[in-house]
Chains A and B, each alone.
Chain A
């Protein structure tokens, strides 16, 4: 239960973290992800339909951590599908748009959805994106106090100007690592809902290595 299920087997990393990005459509989830993974910003980045998956390996306290990043569609009708991917997530990034009041007030709804579908131990993080824009309607203080109310860490970011984007993912990864180290969080394959067992073909190469 160290969260390093695949460690030391020549895979080129020490542990894996499943991280999910959620929030209303248009708040900049995909832009944050693309900025983080590819260091690009394309203002007309394409709509996410359903679920997208990206991977990036980072260095956390001298350990190679493979981040599995799941980007989700924001439109309500995709909710039943995207929530299926909450299973086993170790980190969930909840994004709103500081220039759009509605996306901010929907944070509580998203928080509720997380509580219904994610592991209790999952580490959450609240992000107010598009901090570069001068049409801001949600202040930093409002974001901070909501985060306090929900008991979440909070970061404001701009995917456009590359402000605080790396911080989002590193802060989250570190918090997750701390939880893993204090044995609170299960690693891959040990999630409480991992209800599909690996069959004979996999030869038990997973999850029982520790």
Chain B
């Protein structure tokens, strides 16, 4: 349904898609070469030959045959390649200093994995989750924790944790994978981070082969979270949610393109799309928990969404999925709208409530066909996003314009840490500047950097007080000149006489009709006219 909207771009992007086709052929060839050995063998081969485009392609087109044991290797390889660890990165690893948000982290970790029935598993998962988040925050104290970040991190924890349990699919590839680990990790993992030594303690179990494995996995897990956080989640981690709100604004923008009628009916031009906040901040992982009980989790849509983000390197994916979701539920939404229109205090409340009801409580994500088509559409739309139209909606350092842009290349985009940290610093500074702005003012501000008209406009927007002072002084100047002229009686010389004749004529009428008002109206002017031919105007008492 949405392909139509992006028609023009679709044509333009044919070439890009064409480029993909050759990779697809290559992919199929490789795949059949492996001759039924399954995705494990395929991924392994790609890992060994470090064929990143092939891995990327595999993750992008994962049709459900990726186990979490494989997934964690694919995620690690892709994320590690996108933000390679540097010596500097490892050297100043963990600051012992407590991060200001750690209390909040503990509160949220204690409310995580709530649906898990296995208590000891739950405790281990929570311990690992808390450790990972706090490690990130201490390593990058400039990041601010937000409620919901723990949901994102828990997705990674689940994928990696599962590997540690008796996972049947794991056994079949275990040995080869061990070799593989040695091959692929020598570049990154020769430096073991200080905190890692204690990892086995967290686990609380006897040290056996499995725990040794755990140590290695935890390092990889941390690298994944680190890379994902810095490349994809930065916008949410300045000390306000302003830039998250900017990202949310993309949703009505997309809905408008897909279905202008729905956009109008839901008043999306007038209301803030806060209803999407938790799904975007947590990439759906808050409302769609990727587990019922651990073990049956591998086919959760959450993992597929993360596969898609990590492989396309695009944070447009969740926004597009959300917009598609709303549009695909149009009929239900309209029905709910009619049912509820009288039940709410105001429109934003109602739209929030019906969208929450339709998107969250209806089990869209349980319907495999439904979410498979959502993912496919997200993939297509993502490759059709045109940044030209989006720039003015976002701050220039946003992940959506820098490190998780929708781009068409098949190669992985690689970024280095200093660049990322600089982007974040700039975002923090900008956030400070925009603190008092509404979302719309912020957009004006972003656009201000783009055209000179807007820049001038923005200058006055931003320096409202200065502008006020200018206005005030100008007014004072005019006032002063007027008074001066009036006092000295030189006004006649400055302004055409006929004008005053007419003016006086008008005042003259007022005087005639209402003698009580005459002083009020005529006083300042009449002295002016005294010497002129209108001497019949009564004189004013000098006391005035």
Q: Enumerate chain A interface residues (CB-CB to B < 8 A).
A: 5-6, 9, 11, 16, 18, 25-26, 42, 44-53, 66, 68, 73, 75, 77-78, 80-81, 84-85, 87-89, 188-189, 191, 193-196, 198-199, 201-202, 205-206
Contacts and interface: CB of A to CB of B under 8 A. Distances in A.
A75 B343 contact: no
Nearest to B277: A50
Contacts of B113: 44
Interface string B100-113: 00001001101111
Nearest to B241: A77
Nearest to A52: B356
Nearest to A30: B111
A47 B148 contact: yes
Interface centre among A46, A189, A195, A199 (most CB of B within 10 A): A46
A80 B277 contact: no
Nearest to A186: B345
Contacts of A206: 341-342
Interface of B: 104, 107-108, 110-114, 122, 144, 146-148, 150-151, 239-242, 245, 265, 267, 270-272, 274-275, 277-278, 281-282, 286, 341-349, 352-353, 356
A88 B345 contact: yes
B341 A202 contact: yes
22 contacts: A18-B345, A25-B104, A25-B107, A25-B108, A26-B107, A44-B112, A44-B113, A46-B286, A49-B286, A51-B274, A68-B353, A77-B144, A77-B241, A80-B241, A88-B346, A88-B349, A188-B345, A191-B345, A191-B346, A195-B346, A196-B347, A205-B342
Contact of A194 (B272, B282, B342, B345): B345
Given A46-B286, A84-B274, A88-B349, 9 more contacts: A44-B110, A45-B114, A50-B274, A53-B353, A85-B352, A87-B348, A191-B346, A196-B347, A201-B265
B10 to A, nearest CB: 32
Contacts of B241: 77-78, 80-81
Nearest to B345: A88
Contact of A84 (B112, B239, B272, B347): B272
A193 B346 CA distance: 9
A52 B282 CA distance: 15
B143 to A, nearest CB: 12
A191 to B, nearest CB: 5
A201 B347 CA distance: 13
Contact of A66 (B104, B146, B343): B343
Contacts of B353: 53, 68
A75 B265 CA distance: 32
B348 A46 contact: no
B346 A47 contact: no
A208 B66 CA distance: 57
B347 A53 contact: no
A158 B184 CA distance: 54
Contacts of A75: 104, 146-147
A188 B240 contact: no
Contacts of B341: 198, 202, 205-206
B270 to A, nearest CB: 5
Contacts of A193: 346
Nearest to B144: A77
Nearest to B289: A46
Given A50-B274, A53-B353, A53-B356, A5 B147 contact: no
Nearest to B281: A49
Contacts of B107: 25-26, 47
Contacts of A78: 147, 241
A47 B150 contact: yes
A206 B108 CA distance: 40
B240 A77 contact: yes
Contact of B270 (A11, A26, A66, A196): A196
B356 A87 contact: no
B473 to A, nearest CB: 33
